[in-house]
Amino acid sequence: MKKFLPYIFSLLVGSIFGYLIFNSKIVNTKLLNDGINATAFQLGVFTSKDSAEEYLKKYPESIIMQDNDVFRVYYSILTNQKVINKMEKYLLKNKIFFYKKDITLVDKGLIKALKEYETSMIDVQDNTFFNLNKIIMESYGGNI
C-alpha cells in the first residue's frame, strides 16, 4: 500500500490544480476565448460573391465576409457603445439601410485597429468619423 500512496497523492494534487486552473476566469477569457464581441453594421447578405462585390461598389469602404455559404457586406464593426450609437445615427442620417449584428472578432488586425482608433471616433466631425471607420475596416485581414 505504501507504494501506491505517492501515486494517489500526485493524482489528487494534479486534479485539484487542473480544476482550479481551467475554472479560473483568467484562463477562460485569455486562452479559451481568443475573440472579442463586436457589433457589425451589415448592409446585405448575398449567395454569390459576385453579387456581394457588385454591391460593394456602392459602398467601397465596406468589407465582404464569407459566412458558410453566404457573403455578408459590413459597413462597420465596432465595440464601444458610444461609437455604435454614433454610427447608427450617421447611417440613418445618410440614409444607408443596415442591420446590426452581434459577431465575435478573431481578426488580429481589426482588433488592433479598433483598440487604436475607436475611442477617437466619439467626439469628431462626420468626415473624420467616416475616415476613421474606413481605416478600421481596411485593417481587416480576412478572419472572422
- Write out the chain's pLDDT in tens, 144 residues: 667 777 777 777 777 767 766 665 444 444 445 688 999 999 999 999 999 999 999 999 899 988 889 999 999 999 999 999 999 999 999 999 999 999 988 888 888 888 889 988 988 898 899 899 999 888 887 654
DSSP 8-39: HHHHHHHHHHHHHHHTSHHHIIIII---EEEE
**Residue 46: which H helix or E strand, with range?**
strand 36-46
Q: What sections of the chain are H helices per DSSP?
A: 5-22, 25-27, 49-56, 81-93, 108-117, 126-138
3-state secondary structure of 71: strand
| pLDDT for residue 7 | 75
- Backbone torsion region of residue 68, taken as left when φ is above 0, otherwise alpha when ψ lies between -120 and 50, otherwise beta: left
pLDDT tens for residues 118-127?
Answer: 988 988 898 8
pLDDT given at position 2: 66
Q: What kind and span of H or E run contains 105?
A: strand 99-105
State if pTM tops 0.75. Answer: no
